Structures are given as C-alpha cells and as structure tokens.
Structure 1
Amino acid sequence: MSKISNTHSLGDATTPEISPSEIDAVVRKAAWRLIPILFIAYLMNFIDRTNISFAKLQMGQALGLDDVAYGIGAGMFFIGYFVFEVPSNMILEKIGARRWVPLIMVAWGGATLSLAFVTTPLEFYVIRFFIGFAEAGFFPGIVLFMTYWFPASHRGRMMALFMTGIAVSGLIGGPLCGAIIEYLDGYAGFAGWQWLMITTGLPTFIVAAAIYVLLTDRPNQANWLSNREQHVLAVSLGNPERTKTSMKAGLVNFWTWSSAWIYFLLVCGGYGISFWMPTLLSQAGIASNAKIGLLVAVPNLIGVIAMLLICRNSDRMQERRWHLVVCFMFIAAGYLIIASQLDSVLGLLVGFSIAYIGILAGAPLSWTIPTKMLTPAAAAVGIAIVASVGNLGGFVGPVLLGKFSQDTGSFIYGLLIISAFQLIGALWTALTVRMPR
C-alpha cells in the first residue's frame, strides 16, 4: 500500500507523510479507547432485547401466551424500533453520541425493569414496543459514530469487534439467564422470569454513566489523541469536517434500500433462531433451564470465532460481496439442518452453530456496504433507514415461526421459509453489490 502524500500542514510545521503503519497505530489506539465500552453497551443492549427468549420458559404460562402471542410480543420490539430509528439518528448526529447514547440506555433499562411487572399479554406488547422505541437509536447511532472514527479499510474489523456483543450475550447471557430463572425462581416472592428482567435492566444505568465519561464524539475533540494522531485520522477518513445531513440524500440513495433489504434478510434469520432457541431445545428434551442456558452458549462461541476470522479476512482482502454471500449460505444450511433435527439436541446444536457462523459474521459485513457507499450527507438518514427497515426482519422471523408452529404443530415450515429467505439474500448480494476495493 502506498503512503499518503504530504499535502497538509500541522500548525506551522509541514506534516510528514502518513504511512499505512501509522494509520494502523492510531486506529488501534482509538479502538482500545472506544470499542470496549461500546462492546459492553451492545452486550447489554442485546441481552435486554433477547432475554424474553428465556423468560418465555416461565412467563408464557404466567401471562397466558401461546406461540403466536409470544412471537408478536418478541417482534413488537422491532415495530417500536422502526418508528424512532431515523429521528433518533438525526438527533445523535446533531448532539453527539456521548450525550444521546446514555439517555437511550437509561430509557431502555427502565423499560426492561418494568417488564418484570407486566400481568397481561397487552402489557407485554406495550412494554416490548417501548423497549424497541427506546433502543432505536443505539445501534444505527453507533454505526454512524464508527464512520467518524474508523476508515473504511478498517471498519469491518471494528464492526466485528463491536458486534461480538451479540455472540457474547449468548455466551455469557445464555448461561446467566438460564441460571437466574432456574435458581432465583420464587426468591422474595418474584418468579425467575421477573428476576431476569430486574437483573438485566439495572446494569444498563451503570454502563450509561460510563459511556458519558469515556466516549468522545469526534477525533478532533479527543484530548487523549495528539495533534498528529488527530490529523492522521482526519486524512485517513477522507471527510474530517461535518457535513449537513440531507433527508432526501438518504431516501433516494440506491445503497440505502439495497442495504436495508440485505439487512432485513439477515435479521430475519438471526432473530428467527435467537428468540426460539431455548424453546426448541426444551421441546427436544432438555428439562433444565440452566442446562438450556449452557447449551445456547455453544453456537455463540463458534459464531464469534468465525465472525472474527471471516471479518479479518474480509478486511485483509478488502472484499465484501462474496464473504457476505458465503454468510447467507451458512445461515440457509443451518436452518435446513434445524428443520430436519427438531427431535435431536445434538442435531439442533449443529444447525444452530452453522447458522450462527453466517449470522454473526454477516451482520458486521453487511454494515460495511452502507458505511462505505453512502455519501456523508446521506449517511445519518441512510444508516437509520437501513437499521429500521432491516430490523423489521426481527418482527417477521419470530412471528413467522410462531404462526407456523401454532397452525401446523411444527416449526418445520417456518424454518424452511426463512432458509429460502437466506438464499434470496445470497443471490441479491451476488448480483447487486459492487464495492470498490
């Protein structure tokens, strides 16, 4: 890779050439400062949206939820998410992540706590909608924030590191959630599922305070970077100055809607599994909630290793399209195995693990497309549209599986349909994604 030409000045001195190794060093320094706290926040984010997959093992009977009602409740999160996504991202672009993200986290933490006290399906739907409404700005806001800090050449790895929060939420959150509902059930008069909401909602407030202290909105505001390091990031990013956000630029951009479609299909595959995995393991013969939690960790562990390796290779080759196509194929294959192994715990784990390779690696790779291809004016709105429309897959997936389970007595048909969605995603990506290296 050639050095970046010296055409800038820093103070009164001429700026030396910027080498790729210097960019790597500054990106690494920024990553060590920003990624850990963002990772922890996303870990809490994902646990708070998926903890009901374990809570269902008890709350379904307590609230009178059948499979369809549970699927609707699980999916209502994404309706709320859809409603507030674009406004939230525009607010973040104006006031900065350091102030906006903690407010978002306090709102969703409080809503998660309140979910412990619902008594009817309607209350369950309303609170799930509000959790989605509150969380709407977090993920797309952080994706936008990444474009302010990390050049496109490094963004696949940075997104992968951030999004390991998904896998770790299953790796840690699965056993933890299973243990909470198993061993705290009845303690102080609360059911295990209620303790699950309390114990996963409270830590969000602590992480929100840490975000406010540790996050810096832009490189030129970072007193922990030298002037030279700020300059290196500005040049490598290619767009160091603020650009006026344009609603129209985001709405009419092809990459906004193509990326939204790709992300919709990935999310449909991801949440189709995550919201139903404990239930499928229970129906396959695992009676202990704690053991179910431990088993859920297995595909997450395999998925996170694959995600880091695949995204690292994608960055090394500066190739996105075919890596993403392969991820879609993994998800499709995993769903086919799950559909054929519903009575086998081992077969389910194999299917979950193969699918999770594609789900966890495909998510960060999919975000390299809009963050690279959208113009600065379109980025805030476009990224929010991608996330809001794409996350409707989180409504479709769980509801689809719940509906077919309720109507046919089996998850097979729903699983096969979602597998077909992933094949469509692979074909669409192969035919439409053309990104400069």
Structure 2
Amino acid sequence: MKTQTLSYPVGGGLAVSPDAAQELFRKVLWRLLPILFVAYFFSFLDRVNIGYAKLQMQPLLGITETQYGLAAGIFFLGYALFEIPSNLLLDKIGARKTLTRIMVLWGITSAMTMFVTTASQLYVLRFLLGVFEAGFFPGVILYLSYWFPSYLRGRVTSILLLATLTAPILGGPVSGLIMQNMGGINGWAGWQWMFLLEALPIILVGVVCFLCLSDKPEGASWLSAGEQQLHEQIMRKDRESHGHDDGHGRDAILSALIDPRVYLLALLAFSAYCGSYAFNFWLPTMIQQMGIKDVSQIALYAVIPFSMAAMGMLLVGRSSDLRRERRWHYALSMLFAAVMLTVASQWQGSLLTSLLLLGLAGFGFSGGVTVAWSLPATYLKGKAAPAGIAMVSSLATLSGFAAPWLIGYTRDLTGSSSAGLITIGGVMLLSALVMIFLVPQSAVHVGARED
C-alpha cells in the first residue's frame, strides 16, 4: 500500500514541533491502515465477486437479469438494517471484538454461497452476508475518527477507500483465473471455487484485527506516554475548532437520528455509491456484451476503468485536504461523473473508448465517495457519532440495492444498460446541487491550519 506525505498543522499553545506531530501520525497511519486496508479489501471483494460469478452461475441457476440484480442488491438491505446496532456495539466494546465478530461470520457465510442451487437460496445467503457484515465500514470510519484529526481524514479515508478499487483491480483477474482454471476439480464449478477460496482469508484477517489493533489511543501499548499525551492535545484542539459539545448520551443520539442534515450527508454518499456499485456488479457483464467472452480477459479489461477510478479517489481526496475544501471538490466531481456516465451510455464506438469513458465517470464518482466520507466524522461528534455515522452509512448503502436492481430491471426491459446509467447520472446531478445549495457549512468545515 502506498501512502502520501502528510503535513500536520500544530500550534496554538501546543509545545511540539510539526516534525513530532508528523512522526506521530505517520506511526499511527502505518500501524492501523495496512490492517484495515486488507480487511476492507476482502470486505469489498466479497461483496462484488458475484459480478464475475454471474458469468457462469446465471445459466446454471436459470436466473434472470432482474433476479441477479436483486440477489446482488439484497445484501445491502441486511447491511442497512443492522448497521446502527453494530456501530453502537463497536463504541461500547471496542473495534477489536467487533471487527473479529464481523469478519469470521461473514467469511463463513460467503463460503456457503458456493452451495446455492436456486435464486431463493442465493437471496437468503446474500441477505445474511449483509447482516453479518453490517457495521464494518461505518465502524472503521468511527474508529479512524478516534485517531486522526479532521484535516487528515480526507487523505486517510481515500487510502482506505482505495481498497474498494484495489479489490476489483487485483481481485477481478484472480477471480477470473480461478473460474477459468479450477472448474471441474472435486466436481465443483469455477464460480464455486471462487467463493470458497476468497472467503477463507477473511477469517484469518479477523483474527489479525483482534490481535493487532488497539481500541483507543489511550490504550495503545505501541504509543509512548508522551505520544499519547501529544495525540490527545492535537485531537482536543481539533474538536475545539468545531465548537463541539459531546452532548448527553441518548439525547445526542436521538438528535443525530432526527437531524435532516444527516440525511443530506447520506444522499451525498448514496449518489456516489450508485456509480461504484453499478460498476462492481455490472461492469463484467457490460464488457462481455462488448464482445469479450473469456472470463480472464473480461477481468483484465475491467482494470482500465477501475484504475482510473482509483486515481480519482486519491487525487480528489488529497486535493480536498490540501485546500481544506469539501463542497466544490464533491460537486464538481459528481457533475463530471454524471456527464461521463451519460456519454458512455450512448457510445457505440470502440471497446477502448467505452472503457475510457466509464473510467472517467469512475474518476468523478470515486472522488465524490472520498469527500462524502470525510464529512460525517467531522459533523457528528461525541455520543452522537456512532449512531449518526451508522445512519449515514445505512442509507448510503441502500445504493448497493438500488443501482444493481435498476440496471438489471432496465436490461430485462430494453436489453441495454443505458437507461439505468442515465438514471444514475441524474441522481449524481441532484447530489451535486444538494452539496452546493443545501449542505451546511458546519458539515464541510475542515480544521484550520495553525501557523
């Protein structure tokens, strides 16, 4: 995993040099991010490998495009329903136990997908997979807010979210090779082997999370007493810059759940995720319809748009942090994505040009994802944060149900993905306008540089 050079504003009475602060957060970054990155890599691979499995399992199970879209998306219903309880539990018992529980249960459920023989069985296991994985991502976002101040979260979040693109870039070709070369071994099809082999590492990573992560900075044995004190000073200074009051337990949680601005933040993430999940669940099928039939080649061609999306995630996140600006970075990214997605839906030319247009769309909405996820932990603090962040994630995650189902439904109706892509582009346009005109300044505020 490649990280970036980070700058750390320090001052305002803190008796510490910028070099000391930079060294502290570099140490935190390299302790936490490799583990969380690998965990999120397998989390996302496990969600989207059904897009490759579809190429073999759909004719064997006899499911329609709409049924496949429903199976892909029903995961997110289970995920959304149990996200808030899971995040509240993380805040209570800690990240180590929560992440281990999540990863072991979802690894077992994912492996069981290899035995489905009907659409109904696929629906049940995908729903359970969402239930068991619920709370993973918002829990990690909450967890990172304990460790990094607001002015670093854009870049830290972009590094974590890069796993959502590394999964299809690296995992896609691996999935293709497994499906292509292991079919028939032990009497199992290639897609069955793929589910099994990609589920087993998840359980191991869950154990690593339990052994290597620390729940809070003050309990981290790998930080010295001086480093813990410095960390607390910097984080307290950042919280004070937002005029934050921790609130009072249930009142703060209820306030977050009924705050309409929380739902605006959810819309921002929902819209960006629509593009992401449309890509992850349908891009292999789109490439197949462009004339590429070999599963391994489909996975390799998919690397082009996914790599361009990864560039957008890193560059937009970095630019947003360096300029301490969120509103226009999000809005312009989503407007660009909407235009590119619409053009790509109508393009009838070469395969390479189609993939480049889709990649440019991915550059835009992936940048939007990064900015959208830097906002909730800044706006929601203290006792309100676990429930509020989980609410944002729960609603945003419903895009994983809506986008795959929408494209599957329109494909059954029209034989094309164009109408679904145009509709998703319209949702992105709406979210850009919401960010420009409706999202409050308190949600997009970034801790000020102290010189």
- TM-score range with shorter-chain normalisation? over 0.9
Alpha-carbon distance in 2 for matches of 1:95, 1:104: 13
Structure 1 gap ranges (5+): 7-16
8 Å contact kept, 2:10–2:21: no
Alpha-carbon distance in 1 for matches of 2:201, 2:16: 42
* Corresponding letter in the other structure for 1:251: L
| 1:12-23 alignment runs, 5 A limit | 17-23=15-21
> What residue is the counterpart of 1:3 in the other structure?
11
> What residue is the counterpart of 2:333 in the other structure?
327
1:368-420 CA-to-partner distances (Å, cap 9, x unmatched) read 11111113121100000000011101111011111111012221111111111
Please state how far the C-alpha of 1:364 moved relative to its aligned partner.
2.1
Greater displacement, 353-362 / 423-432: 353-362
SS in 1 for 2:393: helix
Please state how far the C-alpha of 1:209 moved relative to its aligned partner.
1.0
Please state how far the C-alpha of 1:21 moved relative to its aligned partner.
3.5
What is the aligned counterpart of 1:103 among 101, 104, 111?
101
> What residue is the counterpart of 1:436 in the other structure?
445
> What residue is the counterpart of 1:381 in the other structure?
387
Alpha-carbon distance in 1 for matches of 2:295, 2:49: 13
Greater displacement, 398-407 / 324-333: 324-333
> What residue is the counterpart of 1:226 in the other structure?
224
> What is the percent sequence identity of the aligned residues?
37
* Corresponding letter in the other structure for 2:412: Q
Alpha-carbon distance in 2 for matches of 1:268, 1:342: 23
Greater displacement, 142-151 / 243-252: 243-252
Please state how far the C-alpha of 1:306 moved relative to its aligned partner.
2.7
> What residue is the counterpart of 1:368 in the other structure?
374
Please state how far the C-alpha of 1:305 moved relative to its aligned partner.
2.4
Please state how far the C-alpha of 1:56 moved relative to its aligned partner.
0.3
* Corresponding letter in the other structure for 1:318: R
Alpha-carbon distance in 2 for matches of 1:211, 1:244: 31
* Corresponding letter in the other structure for 1:412: S
Alpha-carbon distance in 2 for matches of 1:427, 1:402: 27
| 1:343-362 alignment runs, 5 A limit | 344-362=350-368
Please state how far the C-alpha of 1:174 moved relative to its aligned partner.
1.1
What TM-score does the superposition give when structure 1 sets the normalisation length? 0.94
| 1:157-196 alignment runs, 5 A limit | 157-196=155-194
> What residue is the counterpart of 2:259 in the other structure?
253
SS in 2 for 1:178: helix
* Corresponding letter in the other structure for 1:90: L
Q: 1:191 to 1:20 in 2, by over 3 A?
A: same
> What residue is the counterpart of 2:293 in the other structure?
287
* Corresponding letter in the other structure for 1:124: L
8 Å contact kept, 1:166–1:360: no
Please state how far the C-alpha of 1:320 moved relative to its aligned partner.
0.8
SS in 2 for 1:5: coil
SS in 1 for 2:36: helix
SS in 1 for 2:13: coil
Alpha-carbon distance in 2 for matches of 1:381, 1:27: 27
What is the aligned counterpart of 2:84 among 86, 89, 93?
86
SS in 2 for 1:172: helix
* Corresponding letter in the other structure for 2:316: I
Please state how far the C-alpha of 1:316 moved relative to its aligned partner.
0.8
Alpha-carbon distance in 2 for matches of 1:131, 1:96: 22
* Corresponding letter in the other structure for 2:445: P
Please state how far the C-alpha of 1:116 moved relative to its aligned partner.
0.3
Alpha-carbon distance in 2 for matches of 1:388, 1:344: 38
8 Å contact kept, 1:250–1:377: no
1:180-238 CA-to-partner distances (Å, cap 9, x unmatched) read 11111222211011011001101101111111111111110011111121112112222
Please state how far the C-alpha of 1:243 moved relative to its aligned partner.
7.6
Alpha-carbon distance in 2 for matches of 1:342, 1:142: 41
8 Å contact kept, 1:253–1:374: no
Please state how far the C-alpha of 1:242 moved relative to its aligned partner.
8.9
Please state how far the C-alpha of 1:52 moved relative to its aligned partner.
0.3
SS in 1 for 2:63: coil
> What residue is the counterpart of 2:113 in the other structure?
115
What is the aligned counterpart of 1:51 among 42, 49, 56?
49
Alpha-carbon distance in 1 for matches of 2:342, 2:406: 16
User: Is the aligned partner of 1:398 residue 2:396?
Assistant: no
What is the aligned counterpart of 1:146 among 144, 147, 162?
144
8 Å contact kept, 1:255–1:370: no
Greater displacement, 420-429 / 293-302: 293-302
Structure 2 gap ranges (5+): 1-8, 447-451
8 Å contact kept, 1:4–1:19: no
